[in-house]
């Protein structure tokens, strides 16, 4: 230990440790309601209020009709229902908050009341709920029963081959929607074609959107490449709305325009966008978002993407900001909107904050849990890194399994994913060739199929993609051309899948609230409504779905453990022999240490958890004992497999009264014959990190105890590894093998052990 300048140090060094954690990269801001930094209590938030003259709303949340801005006007005319407003606004907010979490108050009644509430009223009600209550209410109030999820599919080069491969991969994981955008905005047509083709591989019905400039996005939809849009952004103040280059009327027009072309549409809003744009009016995130959501319902949008989208990191910098994000999602579903519930832009560098953020939505379920799970690597995400990305995909899959919560995704086998990626690359290459857009060579294709991200590819670069994109737009290539090209080149299934998707437009079924496609059928809030009224109601996973979620990779079972041990056994055969010498009796040699071995030691199990062969471990212990001047005797016990009892039993047979208990997995103890079973002299409980040197030291110390000398205990140093997480699955399986061999009252047996290359 180095003794540096700790004298005179004026800082607890734990702060140095804390400074190095990713958390400290996050911005945190003080609450400052005057400057818009308030989650739920803005300096200028109005109290809920209204007045009406007949069916005309003459004042809302403290603003008289003459003073209404565009947003007030739109909400007063198209959201507030004059038939409901008297009843709804008269209810005390706390009472309504209690109704939201009361399983006996039906969702339908609460939706009815919301249609008569002003933005300030909605905000005031949900502000009464704790985070847990918000999550619970969300689970009760969301519109469609079956939860779903949405992926981002983008890459840093706008490479169409990689987009196709990654779109197909996202489809394989089960995403209901995929969304792309571009590094270079003029590459939009190429990105749209590539994701469209990729999303048709493996399964039909995954909805797809290409986030780009409003007018262009609609044109891409008209060409049939995309099936939905969600970048119809709205804002909670007039100033930010105008800065965003729209009005409630222009956005409502766009909503109707999308529907008129048979394209699903949802709006986008979310905390802190007004603050980022500089037009917050000293109002809270929640109040402004309540205005956005009332406006979206008023426009006739079927749904929203909210819960802090680009503004999520800013919201998360404030006290209560994450709770506010949850609360605004709740208002969305309470208003009966489909909710793609954020969990999108990564709001923290801390994996703990990210994991905590997702949990309420994972267990509550949501129409689309993430409104952009980055299915690609972080650096390939052209929106910005998401909360969850390609890197963290398996973490998410395991969270589903942990909580038995349907997060919309399904684990997939390695070989299956590679096959899908190859097929998508081939399909996209075929389309490009047939349409005269390019001729990807074998090296380009191979590099993309196995690439984790665009750093690994030798394929198209953004400049080349611009030419392709311009070509698609200029030649007015449509989805029908892509379908024909796929069919022409033998991609029959993909051609059928794409045709299925564009035919959805004819009925308009997927324009209804919360619509996605599962098993080739549209499900929505109409035919799959969320009806939760307590335990055993609402969405529950089928046994089949539960099995799918549980089926992650690298799962242990007893057969696998025994198979592994069998390979070790073959290796051990030449190194050690165990000969049974009959019943073991108490020894009389004061220098004798007994090593008590567990039942499966060298009979069924052959390696410690640290990977040492048992012959090596026994050799080291014996050497240590001998170095200490004592003599080793080996005894097999079958009456117990417990380390403490092995050790104590061994000690009672030893002439010195000192024994070592040793399990096959490597757990070891030094015991003394007069001690209580669990009050040993030394214990190696962390077998996975116990080295051969440690075992030798253990033997030596046993000898020193026998001669009653001063002993420095052997300490197996841990660096805080979560050994339970790493090993306990295997330990439980191994230990069951040990306990399976125990017999009550079995006599101890002396063992003659011969190690190859050593005298016994």
Partner 1 sequence: MSDRRLELDDYPLAETRPDEVRGARGLSLNDITLDAVMAGNVTMEDLRVTANALQQQAEIAQAAGRASLAANFLRAAELTAVPQDVIMATYELLRPGRAADKQVMLDAAQRLRHEFAAERMAQFVEEAADVYGRRGLFKFRY
List contacts with partner 1 (CB under 8 A). Answer: 69-70, 73, 78-79, 81, 108, 111-112, 214-215, 218-219, 222-224, 238, 241-242, 245-247, 249-250, 252-262, 297-302, 336, 478-480, 483-484, 487, 492, 495-496, 499, 502-509, 511-513, 521-522, 524-527
| Strand intervals (E) in 181-271 | 207-210, 228-233, 264-268
Choice between 77 and 553, CB closer to partner 1 = 77
Residue 172: partners with Cβ closer than 8 Å, 6 or more residues away = 202, 203, 412, 416, 417, 420
Smallest gap from residue 41 Cβ to partner 1 (A): 28
What sign results for the dihedral spanned by CA atoms 24, 28, 30, 31? negative
* Phi and psi at residue 673, to the nearest 5°: -60, -25
Our CB check for partner 1 shows the closer of 225 and 373 to be 225
Annotate 558-594 with b (16+ C-beta within 10 A) or e (fewer).
Answer: eeebeeebeeebeebeebbbbeeeeebeebeeebbbb
H/E segment holding residue 50? strand 50-53
Distance in angstroms (rounded) separating the CA atoms of residues 289 and 556: 47
Tell the smallest beta-carbon distance from residue 52 to partner 1 (Å): 18
Q: Are 438 and 432 in contact (CB under 8 A)?
A: yes
Nearest distance, CB of residue 86 and partner 1, angstroms: 18
Min separation Cβ 344 and partner 1, Å? 24
Angle at 531 between CA 325 and CA 299, to 5 degrees: 55
Closest CA to 158 of 506, 546, 464, 596: 464
C-beta closer to partner 1: residue 64 or 242: 242
Nearest to 79 by CA among 305, 334, 299, 303: 299
Residue 157 to residue 565: CA distance in whole angstroms: 48
Closest distance of CB 255 from partner 1, Å: 6
- Cα distance between residue 751 and residue 760, in whole Å: 11
Shortest gap between Cβ of 281 and partner 1 (angstroms)?
A: 15
Supply the residues annotated as catalytic.
150, 152, 179, 230, 305, 344, 371
* Closest among 140, 531, 132, 61 to 334, alpha carbons compared: 140
Nearer to partner 1, 471 or 509 (CB): 509
In angstroms, rounded to a whole number, what is the distance separating the alpha carbons of residues 450 and 591? 63
Max Cα distance, the chain (Å): 106
The least distance separating partner 1 from the CB of residue 501, rounded to whole angstroms, comes to 10
Give the residue with the Cβ less far from partner 1, 267 or 610. 267
The CA distance from 613 to 615, in Å, is 5
What's the closest the beta carbon of residue 343 comes to partner 1, in angstroms? 25
Q: Nearest approach, Cβ of 526 to partner 1 (angstroms)?
A: 5
**In degrees, to the nearest 5, what angle opens at C-alpha 465 toward C-alphas 461 and 471?**
160
Distance CA 601, CA 664 (A): 5
The minimum distance between CB 233 and partner 1, in angstroms, equals 13
CB atoms within 10 A of CB 298: 19
Query: In this complex, which beta carbon is closest to partner 1, that of residue 315 or of residue 511?
Result: 511
Give DSSP secondary structure letters for 144-204: BSS---EEE---TT--HHHHHHHHHHHHHHT-SEEEE--SSGGGHHHHHHHHHHHTTSSSS
Distance CA 26, CA 324 (A): 18
Output the six-digit token pair for 677.
Answer: 């079973």
Q: Indicate the SS3 state at residue 338.
A: strand
Length of the chain in terms of residues written: 760
Residue with smaller CB distance to partner 1, 496 or 569: 496
* 126 phi, psi to nearest 5 deg: -70, -25
Distance CA 530, CA 537 (A): 9
**Between vectors from CA 352 to CA 230 and to CA 211, what angle results, nearest 5°?**
15
**In whole angstroms, how close is the CB of 320 to partner 1 at the nearest point?**
31
- In angstroms, the CA 237 to CA 42 distance is 14
CB atoms within 10 A of CB 238: 18
- Grouping H, G, I as helix, E, B as strand and the rest as coil, residue 93 is helix
Nearer Cβ to partner 1 (243/349): 243
- Phi/psi for 213 (5° steps) reads -60, 140
d(Cα 6, Cα 13) in Å, to the nearest integer?
10
From CA 257, how far away is CA 265, in angstroms rounded? Answer: 10
Nearer to partner 1, 246 or 642 (CB): 246
Q: What are residue 60's DSSP bridge partners?
A: 50, 63
Cβ closer to partner 1: 309 or 525?
525
**Closest distance of CB 222 from partner 1, Å:** 6
Cβ proximity to partner 1: between 523 and 654 the closer is: 523
CB of 415 to partner 1, least distance (A): 29
The count of other CB atoms within 10 Å of the CB of residue 453 is 18
Choose between 28 and 253: whose C-beta lies nearer to partner 1.
253
Tell me the two tokens of residue 338: 């489909």
Cα(448)–Cα(376) distance, integer angstroms = 13
């Amino acid at each position: 230990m180095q003794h540096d300048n700790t004298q005179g140090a004026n800082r607890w060094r734990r702060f140095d440790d804390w400074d190095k954690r990713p958390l400290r990269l996050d911005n945190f801001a003080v609450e400052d309601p005057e400057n818009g930094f308030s989650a739920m209590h803005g300096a200028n938030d109005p109290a809920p209020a209204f007045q009406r003259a007949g069916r005309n709303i003459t004042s809302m949340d403290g603003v008289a009709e003459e003073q209404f801005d565009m947003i007030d006007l739109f909400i007063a005319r198209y959201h507030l229902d004059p038939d409901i407003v008297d009843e709804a606004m008269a209810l005390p907010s706390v009472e309504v908050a209690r109704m939201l979490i009361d399983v006996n108050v039906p969702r339908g009644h609460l939706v009815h009341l919301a249609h008569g509430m002003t933005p300030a009223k909605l905000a005031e009600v949900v502000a009464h709920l704790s985070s847990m209550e918000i999550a619970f209410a969300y689970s009760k109030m969301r519109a469609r029963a079956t939860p779903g999820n949405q992926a981002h599919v983008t890459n840093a080069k706008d490479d169409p081959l990689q987009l196709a491969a990654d779109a197909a991969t996202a489809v394989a994981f089960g995403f209901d929607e995929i969304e792309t955008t571009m590094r270079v905005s003029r590459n939009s047509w190429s990105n749209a074609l590539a994701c469209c083709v990729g999303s048709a591989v493996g399964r039909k019905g995954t909805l797809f959107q290409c986030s780009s400039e409003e007018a262009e996005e609609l044109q891409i939809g008209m060409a049939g490449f995309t099936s939905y849009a969600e970048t119809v952004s709205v804002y909670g103040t007039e100033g930010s709305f105008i800065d965003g280059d729209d009005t409630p009327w222009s956005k409502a027009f766009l909503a109707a325009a999308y529907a008129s072309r048979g394209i699903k549409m949802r709006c986008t809003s979310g905390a802190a966008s007004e603050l980022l744009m500089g037009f917050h009016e000293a109002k809270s995130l929640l109040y402004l978002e309540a205005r956005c959501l009332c406006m979206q319902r008023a426009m006739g949008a079927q749904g929203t993407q909210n819960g802090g989208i680009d503004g999520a990191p800013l919201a998360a910098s404030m006290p209560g900001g994450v709770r506010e994000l949850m609360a605004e999602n709740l208002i969305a579903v309470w208003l009966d909107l489909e909710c793609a519930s954020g969990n999108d832009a990564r709001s923290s560098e801390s994996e703990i904050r990210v994991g905590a953020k997702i949990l309420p939505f994972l267990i509550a379920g949501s129409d689309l849990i993430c409104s952009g799970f980055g299915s690609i690597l972080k650096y390939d995400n052209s929106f910005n890194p998401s909360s969850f990305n390609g890197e963290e995909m398996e973490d998410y899959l395991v969270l589903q399994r942990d909580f038995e919560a349907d997060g919309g995704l399904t684990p997939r086998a390695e070989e299956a994913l590679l096959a899908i990626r190859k097929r998508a690359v081939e399909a996209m290459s075929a389309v490009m060739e047939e349409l005269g857009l390019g001729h990807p060579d074998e090296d380009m294709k191979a590099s993309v199929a196995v690439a984790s991200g665009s750093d690994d590819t030798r394929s198209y670069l953004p400049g080349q993609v611009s030419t392709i994109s311009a070509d698609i737009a200029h030649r007015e290539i449509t989805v029908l051309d892509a379908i024909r090209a796929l069919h022409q080149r033998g991609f029959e299934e993909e051609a059928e899948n794409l045709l299925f998707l564009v035919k959805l437009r004819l009925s308009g079924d997927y324009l209804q609230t919360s619509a996605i496609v599962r098993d080739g059928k549209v499900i929505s809030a109409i035919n799959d409504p969320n009806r939760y009224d307590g335990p055993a109601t609402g969405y529950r996973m089928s046994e089949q779905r539960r099995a799918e979620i549980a089926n992650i990779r690298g799962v242990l079972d007893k057969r696998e453990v025994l198979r592994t041990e069998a390979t070790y056994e073959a290796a051990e055969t030449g190194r050690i022999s165990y000969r049974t010498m009959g019943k073991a009796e108490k020894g009389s040699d004061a220098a004798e240490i007994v090593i008590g071995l567990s039942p499966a030691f060298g009979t069924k199990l052959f390696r410690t958890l640290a990977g040492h062969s048992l012959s090596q471990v026994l050799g080291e212990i014996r050497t240590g004992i001998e170095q200490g001047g004592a003599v080793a005797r080996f005894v097999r016990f079958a009456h117990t497999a417990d380390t403490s009892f092995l050790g104590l039993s061994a000690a009672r047979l030893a002439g010195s009264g000192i024994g070592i208990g040793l399990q096959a997995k490597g757990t070891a103890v030094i015991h003394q014959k007069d001690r209580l079973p669990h009050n040993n002299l030394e214990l190696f409980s962390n077998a996975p990190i116990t080295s051969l040197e440690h075992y030798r030291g253990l033997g030596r110390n046993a000898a020193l105890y026998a001669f009653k000398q001063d002993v420095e205990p052997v300490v197996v140093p841990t660096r805080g590894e979560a050994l339970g997480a790493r090993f306990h699955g295997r330990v439980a399986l191994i230990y069951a093998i040990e306990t399976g061999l125990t017999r009550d009252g079995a006599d101890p047996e002396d063992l003659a052990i011969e190690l190859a290359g050593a005298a016994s």
